Amino acid sequence: MSTEVAIVGVGLHPFGRHDPALTGMAMGAQASRLALADAGVSWADIGYAVGGSNVSGKPDTLVGVLGLTGVPFVNVRNGCATAGVALATAANAIRAGETDLALVVGFDKHARGAFAANPADYGHSDWYGETGLMITTQFFAMKDRRYLHTHGLKDRLLAQVAAKAFRCGELNPDAWRRKAISEDEIMQARVINPPLTQYMLCSPSEGGAAVVLASGDRAADLCERPVRLAAVAKRTRRFGSFEVFAPWLPPEAGHSPSVDAARAVFTAAGVTPADVQVAQLQDTDSGAEIYHMAETGLCEDGAQQELIDLNETAPTGRLPVNTDGGCLANGEPVGASGLRQVIDIVLQLQGRAGARQVAGQPRVGFTHVYGAPGISACTVLTA
């Protein structure tokens, strides 16, 4: 007998580049207050909190500005999958009966430019970083190239995905990148790691996001249109999957943690990928959106060419993906990014996504995050 968990409030501090004096934690506090207001509850009502940040401080410090209520507060730090793991932790607290109202918050304020990783943090020796092999964008480019090659997809697909992201950004008042960019301009832009140009890669950015979770009974009282967190699942990598920061791979291919997390979440939610009407996929680069479509089961390997050529992944298509512009148009404050995804799906399922609203009152949504060194978290959200 598992307790139902629903999202009853959302709050976003827009992602982008902000005043240098504005801290990541301040953005997390603002997002939290917005989510509490959206839910119509106060901080004192919250019985359990989970926060995630990769580089901008210990999230539980937020109690100092939100209010010293004595609330249990768990900190999560799982790379790009941080927010998914935070959400799962809070949902489990509700299911375990620890509380009927929980807050999940994520925030980060990253410096400009590609992330610099410390080899020791990932179990590697200094040579790996010093010789220039430990760079996330290299992995994205190499996984993209291998995937496109294996499944007969064209390089231009990478530009098509990025152009769609910026068109969505144009429709989203909270997006960082709000100007459409043509496929030709994207193809011809500065090469970062071929086949990827600058517009095909998301940039580390700044922002905060928060959601309020409630048990099913409480949700019905609080919210006219609660969105049910039908299931959440998280997984680490398996033998043979091609992952970021890997000096070697075995010749026998294995599947990625995204495959496992997606399968688990669909099974737990009792729905299939074909039921999904609006999706959020980790698009750290435009190739990631392409292969994550297949890894999560939303389409077959290789089917992306036709789906994207026909604009089916745009908000007006059959399988809308990243309708708020995703990481490509919002950048990635790592601790908050997965909650931005959840917020976009909640707004879509509640019919309050504005200019990017998907038609036909979608009832089943899906989110997926992926991060170093090979972790994934997925949710199924239902109206």
Residues found near other proteins in the complex (CB under 8 A): 113-114, 116, 118-119, 125-127, 129-135, 138, 141-143, 145-146, 149, 190-196, 239, 246-251
Q: Which is nearer to other proteins, 6 or 200 (CB)?
A: 200
- Reading the block at residue 100, the tokens are 């009927």
Residue 317 CA to residue 303 CA, distance in Å, equals 15
Q: SS3 for 345-364, per residue?
A: HHHHHCCCCHHHCCCCCCCE
Least distance in angstroms from the C-beta of 152 to other proteins: 13
Q: Which is nearer to other proteins, 172 or 241 (CB)?
A: 241
Q: Which is nearer to other proteins, 18 or 145 (CB)?
A: 145
Least distance in angstroms from the C-beta of 301 to other proteins: 16
Q: Which is nearer to other proteins, 124 or 340 (CB)?
A: 124
Least distance in angstroms from the C-beta of 123 to other proteins: 9
CB 335, CB 107: distance < 8 Å: yes
Least distance in angstroms from the C-beta of 58 to other proteins: 24
Q: Which is nearer to other proteins, 97 or 248 (CB)?
A: 248
Handedness of CA 326, 330, 331, 333 (dihedral sign): negative
222 Cβ partners below 8 Å, 6+ apart? 8, 9, 39, 40, 41, 214
Least distance in angstroms from the C-beta of 180 to other proteins: 25
C-alpha pair distances (Å), 382 with each of 110, 172, 231? 32, 22, 9
Least distance in angstroms from the C-beta of 317 to other proteins: 30
DSSP 39-95: HT--GGG--EEEEE-SSS--GGGGHHHH------EEEE--GGGHHHHHHHHHHHHHH
Least distance in angstroms from the C-beta of 140 to other proteins: 9
Q: Which is nearer to other proteins, 133 or 220 (CB)?
A: 133
Q: Which is nearer to other proteins, 149 or 352 (CB)?
A: 149
Chain Cα centroid distance, residue 149: 26
Largest CA distance in the chain: 58
Which residue from 249, 276, 208, 247 is spatially nearest to 59, judged by alpha carbons?
208
Least distance in angstroms from the C-beta of 251 to other proteins: 6
Q: Which is nearer to other proteins, 54 or 172 (CB)?
A: 54
Least distance in angstroms from the C-beta of 142 to other proteins: 4
Buried/exposed 213-224: b ≥16 CB within 10 Å, e otherwise: bbbeebbeebbe
Q: Which is nearer to other proteins, 100 or 243 (CB)?
A: 243
- Reading the block at residue 180, the tokens are 């459409």
CA-atom Rg of the chain in angstroms: 19
